[in-house]
Amino acid sequence: MIPLKRSFFDRKTDIVAREILGKIIVKKENNISLFGKIVETEAYLGEDDPAAHAFAGRTKRTEVLYGLPGHAYVFRLRAYYCLNIVAESENSPGCVLIRALEPLEGFDLMVKRRGVDKKDLVNLCNGPGKLCQAFNINLNHYGCDLTNSDSELFIIENENERIEIITTPRIGISKATDWNQRYIIKSNPYISKYKF
């Protein structure tokens, strides 16, 4: 399994948010690996974006956003965690929120962690908090290098994937709610919810 190169993430945040759709997140745990296809993302455009954490400038919490692209920015929101990927070059704090995954492998462990029925796979990872719970992603993964196969968490190509992308306003935020920075795979049942 060869991770995406850092150069993939060293581009404008909205481009990364679109082009990472269909790629595969890999989470290694002991002797097993969990796999999930990225089906929904949102772009947060750094210090010029009122909805972005970087809007307030550089802080201890957002430090990783100002570093090399391709690292994980994980934060806690109420009782849940959210996984973001640092985009753009150093000192340009863009990030891509992973909003939903289509689970591919490791269902039993994901179901156990989420406490859902195995027949209800559609609702297993269809939200940023849900996918982090299913994949056991937490603050220990803050700063994880997603371009390194030795990392516990990384992202690989999905060679055979052909997708059609729909763009909508971001959801679940109170600022810049009209910005079309949410990207979903059309007709994929695993996205969090439709909003047009």
Reported confidence tier of residue 175, pLDDT bands at 50, 70, 90: very high
Mean pLDDT of 118-126: 91
Residue-range domain boundaries for the chain: 6-185
| Nearest alpha-carbon partner for 32 in 143, 117, 112 | 112
Residue 123 sits at φ, ψ, to 5 deg, of -100, 15
Reported confidence tier of residue 102, pLDDT bands at 50, 70, 90: very high
Per-residue DSSP letter, 49: -
| 134 within 8 A of 125, measured Cβ to Cβ | yes
Task: Answer yes or no: is pLDDT of 179 > 90.
Answer: yes
Residue 162, pLDDT score: 85
| 13 within 8 A of 96, measured Cβ to Cβ | yes
Q: How far is CA 3 from the centre of its chain?
A: 15
CATH code that applies to domain 6-185: 3.10.300.10
Q: Report pTM.
A: 0.96
Residue 195, pLDDT score: 57
Tokens of 118: 């195995």
